Amino acid sequence: MALLTFLARRIARLVISLLIVSMLAFGLLQLAPGTFAGIQAVGGGSTGLANQQTSGNNSALVQAYGENVPIPVQYWNWLSHAVVGDFGPSYKYPQSDVTEIIAQALPVTASLAFFAMVLALAIAIPVGVISAVRRGTWIDNSLMFVSTLGVAIPNYLMAIILVLVFSVGLHALPTGGWTGPQSMIMPVIALGAGMAGVFARYVRSSVLEVLDEEYVVAARARGGTPRAVLLRHVLRSAIMPLVTVAGPAFAGLIAGTLFVEQIFGIPGLGQYFTQAAIGRDMPLMMGCTVVFAAILMAMNVIVDLVYAAIDPRTRAGLGLSHETKRKAAVA
């Protein structure tokens, strides 16, 4: 029951937050300079097809999308459709509904983010632990140097380096495209490498903290092998801060795949999102914003649940423990 109450409360909060996000996004889009029509006309010149850009073009847009009604009414019109999953047709891709675009593109981006996260964790946890255990040695210094390098190299640069090495140099992988699982290898590395560097530093510092805890010293004193102490006592506690950052980081990865998608020509949501923002494609922009916000919020809920699952001490704080209720009843 506590879990259901917790979930119900968090979902209600999520819905309210999404509503606020959508209002803010809608309002800010109204304040942003330029219109879809005007921006299209700017680009039209280079395709040699543009007729004269006129306010008349803009008025066609205004009429077609009901932008001649007051903004609150426009928002209400948008919201009343959005709640049933209908974000309307995209301005830029009039043959597609925003919902269809998101349904096709989000799994692509989510798969990149997911495997990048798995890769980052798979690298960061052992690297962080080894660094902490070998604190101050050349191993620690080397691993932290590489981690810092990973953090410092932006993912688009990493992508180019990977292409130069594995595609142009070794001819082992295609430079881009989205033709099969092999198309994911370099994008996932490009996305995950930086995150691995960040996580590794987190793991190192938390392992160092935990190593000095009394219960770890006691475990050692009781004759526990270093490996057992590390796995059973140190790592379990040290992993907690990582859980805190990993959830939002995953949402950030989903929203941040843009450059990597662009370089590798991957049909993910990042490309649509940026183009929508630059081109003032209001329906697509709103759809992407709401979806990204929902993912971020959902990740926070999941992080809380994972927290509660791996650390009983946090359950009380989240209202997930009977003990909390009993204490409240006594009071």
Residue list 69-128, contact with other proteins (CB under 8 A)? 91-96, 104-108, 110-111, 114-115, 118
Buried b (16+ CB within 10 A) or exposed e, 310-319: eeeebbeebe
| Residue closer to other proteins, measured from CB, 204 or 315 | 315
Rounded CA separation 254/110 (Å): 6
Residue 65 interacts with other proteins (CB under 8 A): yes or no: yes
Stretch that binds other proteins, among 132-140, 160-168, 212-220, 286-294 (CB under 8 A): 160-168
CA neighbor of 162 nearest in space, from 149, 152, 176, 148: 176
Residue 30 interacts with other proteins (CB under 8 A): yes or no: no
Question: Do the beta carbons of residue 160 and residue 260 sit within 8 Å?
Answer: no
Helix ranges restricted to H, 48-174: 55-64, 71-82, 98-133, 138-152, 155-162
Q: Look at residue 97 and give its three-state secondary structure.
A: strand
Residue 55 interacts with other proteins (CB under 8 A): yes or no: yes
Residue 64 interacts with other proteins (CB under 8 A): yes or no: yes
| Residue closer to other proteins, measured from CB, 29 or 208 | 29
CA neighbor of 284 nearest in space, from 89, 27, 108, 95: 89
Rounded to a whole number of angstroms, the minimum distance from the CB of residue 144 to other proteins is 27
Q: Look at residue 266 and give its three-state secondary structure.
A: coil
| Residue closer to other proteins, measured from CB, 40 or 131 | 40
| Residue closer to other proteins, measured from CB, 106 or 303 | 106
Rounded to a whole number of angstroms, the minimum distance from the CB of residue 212 to other proteins is 22
| Residue closer to other proteins, measured from CB, 74 or 104 | 104
Residues 163-182 that bind other proteins (CB under 8 A): 163-164, 167-168, 171, 174-181
Query: In this structure, which amino acid lies at residue 144?
Result: M
- If binding means CB under 8 A, how many residues of this protein chain bind other proteins? 93
Rounded to a whole number of angstroms, the minimum distance from the CB of residue 257 to other proteins is 12
| Residue closer to other proteins, measured from CB, 32 or 73 | 32
Q: Look at residue 89 and give its three-state secondary structure.
A: strand
Question: Do the beta carbons of residue 290 and residue 82 sit within 8 Å?
Answer: yes
Residue 187 interacts with other proteins (CB under 8 A): yes or no: no
Residues 260-299 that bind other proteins (CB under 8 A): 261-268, 271-272, 275, 278, 280
Q: Would you give the DSSP letter of residue 83?
A: T
Token code pair at residue 60:
């066609």
